[in-house]
Amino acid sequence: MTRQGMTAAKVGLLPARGRTIRPAIDGDFLVRSCLLAAVFLLLWITFRPFEDLSHVQEVAEAGTLINQIGYSSVFVVLAAWCFVHDWRRLTPIVRPLLIITLLWLCSTVVTSWEPSVSARRLAFMLITLGISGMVLLLPKNVRHFSDVLAAVVLIVLAACYLGVLFAPEVAVHQPTDYIEPELAGDWRGVFAHKNQASATMVIFIFIGLFVARVRNIFLGGLIVALSSIFLICTASKTSIAILPLTLLIAALLSHVRSRIAGITIALSVVVVFNILSIGSIFLEPVRNLLDKVLTDSSFTGRTDIWQFALDHVMQRPITGYGFAAFWGSKEVVYGMGDGYVWANVAAHAHNDYLNLALTIGIPGSILVTLWLVLLPLIDFYRSPVGTPAEPLKFLFLRVCLFAAYASCFESMLIQEGALGLFLFMSAFGLRLFSVSRVTP
């Protein structure tokens, strides 16, 4: 075993030689369980659940402050725990491409047209990134991780359903919503938007499948059923459509042992989706095809946003406008509306590859795509096959595939909060598997 492989094998989520022994419920086990549960409960339920969206502008500043304090506190607690429990076990995830990507993100803060905004949001993202790595040290083993995730997911689902039943005014989109009253009737549960809720429900379905294989098929099936019902009630077309595709591609990759063939299959979906979406703007054959097969070839108005974003990418193609500093700025909302109908008031580009090119430049978009889309696929194929941790490896793979595909229509690759954390954690987890040389 290589030195790097030995380091990775010490991480509790990775398989160990011989029979896996269930850990005794001692003080260390309880601390790990409580920390792990607290992290995901705080991230999924957030520090401001059930927000009243009719007054979103009044709570935005307070919500940001609470998030900053809350996430920073979680980061500090985990950092202290990891310092005591040998943080060096995570060194394999600090790879050259990650360092180059982070350095590029920092450079876009310097060149940003709103440096203070970019710096604040980058700091928040880095905290999320740090939490996503450190949380991998908490579980004793795969079954421990499964048990805690199952408990947390059921609590979050219970909160979401109770909100819909007893407080629909803050758990279901209303006609009085300040920004998007047209979403009235779509479920969002504890989340601030139906798209966040739907993406989370997809992750919960993946977790349910993971729990069914590791712990109990009935418990996992319950999570899948509850999450699926809620997902349908969010009426989020992107998540509902991408879910079965993700499951299909992940299953296909499990049978395609050729690394080149598997990676090509997975990436071809990203290429096709981007041709069908952004390509429909300037490729007439694609536009004609979509007009024939879709009732709404504008993808619910996304083509206007893509055109707006592309026009502005061309103005600053290398540096972009600064990390997370374009959408919502005064310059965009009040100064770039001529000729674009409503695209200038969108929350993001509704295509994260384009969105990243707009904010951190084309080189930055390429770096993030390599880090969060290509490398996880390579790591999946480099990892040992047939280990007791195989279900966890597929959980991580499904999350990475879903983020890559959904990002062709939404913004999911670099996200604040639980969505970003689970993607980062999945990419890091696949990296740790790839450097492990432990066999069952």
- With a CB cutoff of 8 Å and minimum separation 6, the contacts of 205 are 223, 224, 227, 228, 231, 243
In a domain, 75, yes or no: yes
pLDDT at 28: 85
Closest CA to 368 of 328, 326, 397, 411: 411
pLDDT band at 71 (very low <50, low <70, confident <90, very high): confident
- Provide the residue count of the chain: 440
pLDDT at 226 over 70: yes
pLDDT at 330: 72
Tell me the pTM. Answer: 0.90
pLDDT at 221: 97
Tracing tokens 């429909």 back to the chain, one arrives at 280
Helix, strand, coil share of the chain (percent; to 5): 70, 0, 30
Closest CA to 118 of 127, 131, 109: 109
pLDDT at 87 over 50: yes
Give the up-direction half-sphere exposure of residue 299: CA atoms within 13 A in the CB hemisphere: 24
Distance CA 332, CA 343 (A): 10
DSSP state of 183: G
- With a CB cutoff of 8 Å and minimum separation 6, the contacts of 152 are 37, 40, 41, 44
Q: Are 393 and 380 in contact (CB under 8 A)?
A: yes
Q: Are 237 and 228 in contact (CB under 8 A)?
A: no
Query: Which tens digit of pLDDT belongs to each residue from 244-291?
Result: 999 999 999 999 889 999 999 999 999 999 998 888 887 888 878 887
Q: What's the number of domains the chain is made of?
A: 1
pLDDT at 203: 97
pLDDT band at 6 (very low <50, low <70, confident <90, very high): very low
Query: Which tens digit of pLDDT belongs to each residue from 73-85?
Result: 989 999 999 988 8
Q: Which residues span the domain enclosing 92?
A: 3-139+255-435
Give the up-direction half-sphere exposure of residue 228: CA atoms within 13 A in the CB hemisphere: 12
Query: Which tens digit of pLDDT belongs to each residue from 90-132?
Result: 889 999 999 999 999 999 999 998 898 899 889 989 999 999 9
Distance CA 168, CA 128 (A): 30
Distance CA 95, CA 91 (A): 8
In a domain, 246, yes or no: no
In a domain, 52, yes or no: yes
Q: What is the mean pLDDT of residues 190-209?
A: 95
pLDDT at 20: 46
pLDDT at 61 over 60: no
Distance CA 80, CA 64 (A): 24
* % of the chain surpassing 90 pLDDT: 57
Q: Are 403 and 413 in contact (CB under 8 A)?
A: yes
pLDDT at 48: 81
Give the up-direction half-sphere exposure of residue 303: CA atoms within 13 A in the CB hemisphere: 17
- With a CB cutoff of 8 Å and minimum separation 6, the contacts of 141 are 12, 13, 16, 20, 23
In a domain, 164, yes or no: no
Determine if residue 417 is left, alpha or beta; phi over 0 gives left, psi from -120 to 50 gives alpha, anything else beta.
left
Distance CA 235, CA 60 (A): 25
Q: What is the mean pLDDT of residues 13-19?
A: 49
pLDDT band at 437 (very low <50, low <70, confident <90, very high): low
Query: Which tens digit of pLDDT belongs to each residue from 161-189?
Result: 999 999 999 999 999 887 788 889 999 99
In a domain, 79, yes or no: yes
pLDDT at 56 over 60: no
Higher pLDDT, 133 or 348: 133
pLDDT at 345: 65
Least confident of 295-304, 334-343, 392-401: 334-343
pLDDT band at 414 (very low <50, low <70, confident <90, very high): confident
**Distances from the Cα of 177 to the Cα of 168, 192, 403, 404, angstroms:** 13, 11, 27, 30
Closest CA to 49 of 135, 186, 164: 164
Distance CA 173, CA 354 (A): 28
In a domain, 215, yes or no: no
CA dihedral 324, 326, 328, 331 (to 10 degrees): 150
In a domain, 222, yes or no: no
Q: What is the pLDDT of the chain when averaged over all its residues?
A: 86
Higher pLDDT, 148 or 64: 148
What tokens were used for 58?
């009044």
Using DSSP's 3-state secondary structure scheme, residue 187 falls into strand
pLDDT band at 413 (very low <50, low <70, confident <90, very high): confident
In a domain, 322, yes or no: yes
